[in-house]
Amino acid sequence: MGLKTGKVSVAKLIEENKKKGRYKQGLVEKSVPIFLLIMAIISILTTIGIVFTLLVETFTFFERVRFIDFITSREWFPFFEADPQYGIAPLIAGTLLVSFIAILVAIPIGLATAIYLSEYASERVRKIVKPTLEVLAGIPTIVYGFFALTFVTPILQKIIPNLSFFNALSPGIVVGIMIIPMIASLSEDAMSAVPRSMREGALALGSTKLEVSLKVVLPAALSGIIASCVLGISRAIGETMIVTIAGGSSPNLTFNPTETIQTMTAYIVQVSLGDASFGSTVYYSIYAVGMTLFVFTLIMNLIAQYISKRFREEY
């Protein structure tokens, strides 16, 4: 009788432990979605807070400076006491010039690297080269800036004698080097996702390795490749320290890469270092410039998303 009672007691203990386990598991299952929802809400609220701050301060700036002058004037001299000029065009020109040079450097090298890693490199080589390449993405941008100023610029001055010490060419090249890992890595991932059967079918029809890479794999991965390039351009537009150190601080409406320029991000850094008093028009101008930069990067990201969805291939 005692043994039977012991057996019943053990069975009850086992059942109770199972119930406790199910209760804990159910509690975890209910709490994890709530935690994830809170994290998502925090992210959304942070984004809304940033945009709200930019909008409020930007409207304060446009209460003092006409919006039409801001977008049409060709001079940017906010520190003039007598007649300050707030035409955003020179800053936009400097930003686009540096970004264009960066694109010319990054896209060919990035795509060539991605094609090699995806189509030609062995698994062993890929495991070595890809992480090594991605180390470039971990280098602080201020290091890139000093590299552009003290190494790249002197070399370019030997090739181009009239090149200014502060110019658009040097930071443009280095920004391009900086975004190579982004373009190469994302493009390689897109090309690696192309089914092996498409490659084998093309090879069976007599295509060479190069023809398969350029005429089969590249078009099939086009959406991912274009999206990576657009994201790289967006990263180049928003770059700060490289252009601040090597590009100069002279707003210049020019598309000559040998001249001194100033980008939107470099101007924000200049004012943020204390060149303007709190509450002044110059102070509020950094929010107007920041909003302009935000609009540029937002447009680039929307374009990347549209292209990715529009040309995505399903396998």
Same domain as 244, residue 189: yes
Report whether 5 contacts 12 (CB < 8 A). no
Give how many domains the chain has, as a whole number: 2
pLDDT tens digits, one per residue of 132-144: 887 887 888 889 9
Tell me the residue range of the domain where 151 lies: 76-310
239 within a domain of the structure (yes/no): yes
Same domain as 114, residue 55: no
98 within a domain of the structure (yes/no): yes
Same domain as 269, residue 150: yes
pLDDT tens digits, one per residue of 15-50: 666 666 666 666 777 787 888 889 889 989 998 998
Cβ within 8 Å of residue 78, ≥6 positions away:
84, 85, 86, 276, 281, 282, 285
Same domain as 221, residue 115: yes
Same domain as 152, residue 39: no
| Pairwise CA distance, residues 139 & 129, whole Å | 17
Same domain as 59, residue 80: no
**Residue 99's pLDDT is what?**
92
Q: How confident is the model at residue 221 (pLDDT cuts 50, 70, 90)?
A: confident
Q: Give the mean model confidence (pLDDT) for residues 68-95.
A: 87
- C-alpha distances out from residue 8 to 22, 97, 255, Å: 21, 82, 88
Of 10, 35, 63, which residue constitutes the final position of a domain? Answer: 63
Report whether 110 contacts 178 (CB < 8 A). no
Amino acid at the residue 119: E
68 within a domain of the structure (yes/no): no
